[in-house]
Amino acid sequence: MTYKATYQSSISDPVSFWKEKSELIAWYKKPSTILSKNQDGLDCWYADGELNTSYLALDYHIEQGRGAQTALIYDSPATNSVQQYSYTELRDKVAFFAGALDALGVSKGDRVVLYMPMIPEAVIAMLACARIGAVHSVVFGGFAASELAVRIDDATPKVIISASCGIEVSKVIEYKPLLDQAIELATHKPHSCVIVQRPQAICSLVEHRDFDWQDIMAIATAKDPVPVLATDPLYILYTSGTTGKPKGVVRDNGGHAVAMRYSMEWVYGVKPGDVYWAASDVGWVVGHSYIVYAPLITGCTSILYEGKPVKTPDAGAFWRVCSDHGVKVLFSAPTAFRAIRKEDPDAKLMQQYDLSKLERLFLAGERLDPPTYEWLKQKTGLPVIDHWWQTETGWAIACNPIGEALMPVKPGSATMPTVGFNVQVLNSHGKPAEPNEQGSVVVKLPLPPGCLPTVWNDTPRFKSSYLDTFDGYYLSGDGGYFDEEGYLFIMGRTDDVINVAGHRLSTGEMEEVVGSHEAIAECAVFGVADPLKGQVPIGLVLLKDGVDVDDDELEQELIQLVRDRIGPLACFQRAMIVERLPKTRSGKILRKTIRQIADGEEYTVPSTIDDPSILTDLEDRFSHLGMS
């Protein structure tokens, strides 16, 4: 089959297409209903199927004779160690930790929050939750205590699993004080916490609440996987929206398992036994899908890397890992390769390693900018494949499928829609855009298996955020266009979300934090182009009348406030005091225009602007600072 034929069959008859693909996984009870509506009128896949995702990722392979194969390689330049787990070893650890969770009173449907660095216990805990039908919610380690608290209140976990510390390059980041503070801040209190004590920073445990991972593992009994419905939630993963309250993206078990298994061969060209490395973090969707679930459900060897692309110890780190473990496919974010290129522009360090097993590279998380694409292609001589996806979809919405013949690459394009995703571009009137005309990128319903069925505990928000703007379509929040050959170009968010070093952040949320400072009357936070991180946030702040502050001191206080409330990953490093903010006559801040001025882009003065002279003032301010 060619791409076009496969794609067309998935769009014209999704039920037959996904019925056939459901055969890729070992169900306890095969679904007889493929696509149906739930009680909220929302699409759901495989409603009467029964399975267990932990069984598929572990026990199934042991039954197929792969028990001795390496399932997980933990490669940690942060601790100078490498550990390997066979499928049998990993299954045993998961089964015992599932038993430990059970002993702590966690049962099917209960939530478990994970606040973990990139250590094997994170993967074990995720799979242990899946084994007993509990719903995990992993919170990225770079988030501050208050962000963790918001997620604890929304997910209401019975148990939280964490570690005493994470290690960032050579800095030890103590997680336990952040966890304690988050529990203090949250209204909901977990019954228990399980803490992995790492030798780099042993922490104190709260009596009757906190348990040492090793202690509870020592007395646990192994638990077998329990059957769950395809539509039962596997996990919740919070992602930034336009407000301070993150959205709890729900992932179900059945559609997810099918999409993960299918995508490994069709999108990535990977088969059981292959070594696959997603250089991301388990706190992000890429980590969930392609460090943990898809490679393990497929019977691959997955790499868990606790390090950075640079400085651990150098810009050859990625090539070293590929060489040491015989990686076939590497998946990372463009920002990681920009960091490598900056430190090693001629890729000299790459020459030290045997990359003969490496067949291709996949990039996502932000647009793959053509210079980074060209550099990577030239230096590696391998196919470099951009693909576009989101936390919400869980897998690629557009890609260049290796499972079919690879299509010619157009730098800057994520190529074509993935099977099952009926991607369209609509203009502001909700009509299909012409080729090369930019508009809102949407997906005609139904979304394929693996995509979010709803927002945790908030179906009205799911509908208003994603489904209400264009009737019958899922709103991606990204803008872009198709060219005349059907290649899709994703050009950036159409909402207040920015992408900093592959991390998705809400400028609206940063505005809430900055605006909470006692000196600030009003503010606008927007993302400006950054050569390394893609975008970084900048704040324009208006002082309350009569406030007299030192500009630099205020800036430092605001930077610290964002670090404390959101986390260091926000990279908020600049705040400028201004006299006025450009607004429409109805009072809406013109963020897009501010960003265009800061980036030195051509812009049209919006017809609704209240006072156009503010824009000229801003141009002066930005050029004075060396921006624009």
Residue 548, SS3 per DSSP? coil
How many residues in the shown chain lie near ligand COA by CB under 6 A?
A: 23
Q: Which is nearer to ligand AMP, 536 or 558 (CB)?
A: 536
Q: Which is nearer to ligand AMP, 190 or 508 (CB)?
A: 508
493 makes contact, choosing from ligand COA, ligand AMP, none, with CB < 5 to 8 Å by partner type, with ligand AMP
Min. distance of Cβ 502 from ligand COA in angstroms? Answer: 3
Residue 405, SS3 per DSSP? coil
Contacting positions for ligand AMP (CB under 6 A): 239, 285, 364-368, 386-391, 414, 477-478, 490, 493, 499, 504
**Contact flags string 582-621 toward ligand COA, x per CB under 6 A:** ----------------------------------------
Given a contact cutoff of 8 angstroms between Cβ atoms, the answer to whether 542 and 495 are in contact is no
367 makes contact, choosing from ligand COA, ligand AMP, none, with CB < 5 to 8 Å by partner type, with ligand AMP
Q: Which is nearer to ligand AMP, 167 or 569 (CB)?
A: 569
Alpha-carbon span 325 to 275, nearest angstrom: 8
Alpha-carbon span 599 to 628, nearest angstrom: 5
Min. distance of Cβ 310 from ligand COA in angstroms? Answer: 6
Alpha-carbon span 206 to 210, nearest angstrom: 5
Cα dihedral 434, 437, 440, 442, rounded to 10, equals: 40
Q: Please count the CA atoms within 13 angstroms of the CA of 341 that sit on its side-chain side.
A: 19
- CB-based contacts of 271: which residues, under 8 Å, 6+ apart? 264, 265, 298, 300
The owner of tokens 């298994």 is 261
> Is the torsion defined by CA of 548, 554, 558, 560 positive or negative?
negative
Min. distance of Cβ 117 from ligand COA in angstroms? Answer: 6
Min. distance of Cβ 124 from ligand AMP in angstroms? Answer: 24
Alpha-carbon span 162 to 125, nearest angstrom: 10
Min. distance of Cβ 589 from ligand COA in angstroms? Answer: 26
Interface pick for ligand COA out of 286, 524, 598, 618 (rule CB under 6 A): 286
Q: Which is nearer to ligand AMP, 54 or 239 (CB)?
A: 239
**Contact flags string 121-160 toward ligand COA, x per CB under 6 A:** --------------------xx------------------
Cα dihedral 607, 611, 613, 616, rounded to 10, equals: -60
Interface pick for ligand COA out of 106, 258, 317, 571 (rule CB under 6 A): 571
The two structure tokens encoding residue 433: 């855009």
Interface pick for ligand COA out of 97, 213, 284, 466 (rule CB under 6 A): 284
Alpha-carbon span 365 to 289, nearest angstrom: 13
Min. distance of Cβ 497 from ligand AMP in angstroms? Answer: 7
**Using the rule CB under 6 A, is 385 a contact of ligand COA?**
no
- The terminus-to-terminus CA distance of the chain in angstroms comes to 49
The H-or-E segment that residue 384 falls in is strand 384-386
Applying the rule CB under 6 A, the residues between 326 and 345 that interact with ligand COA are 332-333, 335-336, 339
Min. distance of Cβ 172 from ligand COA in angstroms? Answer: 10
User: In Å, how far are 36, 373, 445, 592, 608 from 466, measured between CA atoms?
Assistant: 19, 31, 11, 21, 27
Residues binding ligand COA (CB under 6 A): 141-142, 166, 168, 173, 280, 284, 286, 308-310, 332-333, 335-336, 339, 364-365, 501-502, 568-569, 571
